[in-house]
A and B are shown apart, each in its own frame.
Chain A
């Protein structure tokens, strides 16, 4: 008698599990479909490829002069948008010749600590070189790499990581 009750319960449970499995499979398929769309378009809301294009976390050195530029995973190449931001920064710095800046280079959490320190330094220097080609003297710019030590977004997801791969221009005086 006892046995049959148990097996009834078991069957009920198995049916439920089957339902859950079906649902999760559906969700998984939906996810695949969505991500396929995402990769084919290359632009998803706040990212182009995996470079952040949004304005969340961005601060301003002056009106219309964003303080930071973003990078692709493992890259230190400046995007078109980054170059535009840096040209604005250069023009602002030319007008305010007494201001010195620190370029703080950062990496996301998906890399080994020591390599990321080097990568942050490389990113900040990419920004520095660009500012210099627009007439800002190197002695007004210092570079500081934080590697992955100072994320702005603590999330563990591609969007958060894209916000964290950055070089931030900070006024030093």
Chain B
């Protein structure tokens, strides 16, 4: 008991600044990003030569640290400092940083590390330091194939983000989307996939048929999407690794708006027949099809809650597009959107507490969020046209697409991916090689 008291007194006496490790608050818009120094990962000369041979990159340590820097900057929460001001060499910094030096350039956190070539593999170790407290916060080493070097940068960023914000990152992830080209009246659309930072872009279909609304399964290995193959719009399933595709179910009409259930075992989608769209699920294993809604209105854009117990969806049963929530068996249907305007594309947050949506009001389109009972509506961004938000796996960022106006000469049209923090801050265009729409964010690939 006495020792316990002593400890308490000790804690009270010590000024909290020197002990409390740095933290980044991600629940508010961050106008004051944390200054962080990303020291280039050090590399010995023979490792450097080996990687240069395999990866055609002069210094893979530098390259990986650049990825980390870009990730941190894009998050809006961190301000990576200019490397020219760094006083300490990377190899020495990784062993024991001279905190005074890093303090001098106003760094509050420091990332150091080392890459080596061991048995044809890439081994990386990294450390995150609290400069003010003079303490190591994270130290981690892992080994992978050299071609995974970009993912190494993303995984390190995820660890840093997690240690400093207290929540999982979203950097070792991919985006699947629809790549668009050509005039608006004859748009060519292809499925495309890329890393979250736009690298490793790859087209998955050739553009011979119209494709729309791709969405990942929970393990991010499968994609469900809508294809107009043979002019029959149907929901398809695509295995990204093998490239095999199959139609989902045997419906005598258009199926669309597909998503996976949170356990990945079912696909939920709309089936349109005789002017009426209803929501169905299909079990991918036993192929059992269930009808979930039963109403002569349009019922579409279904999205499961992360526990699988509820479904939010879009219906015009009130006369106009609104957002509804029901139990996963279709019972207890309840309208949750009551603001002015039309509401569409509800998507349940992976954290379970919010639903993101598109809203149309007085000729403007908004991306917003509301609680699952419809309260606390918050509009994050307004534009001429934007829709289809998709959540980052940690539920902190939304990616969506935005279209620009076409002028009277038919010029000026573009479709681009954008991201914005849940706070409404940090709105950014996500670069893609072509025009792009219908983004879907994968889960965290390494866990």
Contact = CB atoms under 8 A, between A and B. Distances in A.
A154 B256 contact: no
A48 B186 CA distance: 28
A111 B184 CA distance: 16
B403 interface: yes
A112 B388 contact: yes
Given A112-B388, A114-B314, A155 B301 contact: no
Given A144-B231, A154-B406, A156-B405, A113 B275 contact: no
Contacts of A74: 320
Interface in A135-173: 143-146, 149-157, 160
A156 B408 CA distance: 8
B18 interface: no
Given A117-B256, A117-B257, A145-B272, A154 B212 contact: no
A89 interface: no
B318 to A, nearest CB: 12
A122 B387 CA distance: 22
Given A109-B403, A112-B344, A151-B185, A117 B385 contact: no
Given A115-B298, A155-B410, A157-B408, A121 B360 contact: no
B185 A152 contact: yes
B70 interface: no
Interface string B416-447: 00000000000000000000011000000000
Interface in B347-390: 358, 360, 363, 384-385, 387-388
B224 interface: no
Contact of B344 (A114, A143, A144): A114
A78 interface: no
A154 B184 contact: yes
Most buried by A among B231, B298, B360: B298
B300 A115 contact: yes
B406 A145 contact: no
A144 B301 contact: no
Contact of A125 (B275, B321, B405): B275
A146 B254 CA distance: 10
A111 B344 contact: yes
Contacts of A126: 275
B334 to A, nearest CB: 19
Contacts of A115: 298, 300-301, 314, 316, 321, 344
Interface in A74-116: 74, 76, 109-115
B213 interface: yes
A150 B185 contact: yes
**Which bucket holds chain B's interface residue count?**
35 or more
B196 to A, nearest CB: 23
Contact of B345 (A114, A125, A146): A114
Contacts of A153: 185
A118 interface: yes
Contact of B212 (A111, A149, A150, A156): A149
Contact of B298 (A119, A129, A157, A160): A119
B408 to A, nearest CB: 6
Interface string B42-75: 0000000000000000000000000000000000
A109 B213 contact: no
Given A144-B231, A154-B185, A156-B406, A113 B388 contact: yes
B19 interface: no
Given A113-B437, A144-B233, A154-B410, 9 more contacts: A111-B344, A112-B344, A112-B387, A114-B345, A145-B272, A149-B187, A154-B184, A154-B406, A157-B408
Interface of A: 74, 76, 109-115, 117-119, 121-122, 125-126, 129, 143-146, 149-157, 160
Pairs A-B, 9 closest by C-beta atoms = A125-B275, A112-B344, A154-B184, A118-B277, A114-B257, A118-B298, A156-B405, A121-B272, A156-B406
28 contacts: A110-B360, A111-B321, A112-B344, A112-B345, A113-B212, A114-B256, A114-B257, A115-B314, A115-B344, A117-B212, A121-B253, A121-B277, A122-B272, A122-B276, A122-B277, A122-B298, A125-B274, A129-B275, A145-B254, A149-B212, A151-B184, A152-B185, A154-B183, A154-B406, A154-B410, A154-B413, A155-B407, A156-B406
